[in-house]
Amino acid sequence: MAGPSGKPDPTAAPKLRLDKWLWQARFCKSRSLAAALIEAGSVRVNGTRITRPGRDVTPGDTLTFPQGNRIRVIRVLALGLRRGPAPEAQALYLDLEPDASAPDPLE
């Protein structure tokens, strides 16, 4: 991010557009689908409903959004440089949902 002098500010936190991050992390097949999901008000960042696809996300943010028939809760670990293969995309986030395939300890 450039400061007032036009030079990069080394103290600025790295940021990436929310729609681009969702696409790079392979939660959406295209940026336009990611933008539509956000504009519909279906995405929350740190508990706040977001309707602007250009909203910046940073590592440490928690995202909540629907995917298929479930609600995803994830923490952003890193910002991607490209939309790479699935293992690279999975390194961008931590899934905060309990594992559905794990046996229930109360049963």
pLDDT band (50, 70, 90) for residue 102: low
| Alpha helix ranges (H) inside 1-107 | 18-24, 31-39, 86-90
Domains of the chain as residue ranges with CATH: 16-95 (3.10.290.10)
Enter the tokens of residue 46. 């740190």
What does the pLDDT look like over 28-71, one tens digit per residue?
A: 999 999 999 999 999 999 999 999 999 999 999 999 999 989 99
Which residues lie closer than 8 Å to 65 by C-beta, 6 or more apart? 22, 27, 37, 42, 43, 44, 71, 72
What does the pLDDT look like over 75-99, one tens digit per residue?
A: 999 999 999 999 999 999 999 987 6
pLDDT at 86: 94
**pLDDT at residue 103 tops 90:** no
- Residue corresponding to tokens 């933008």: 35
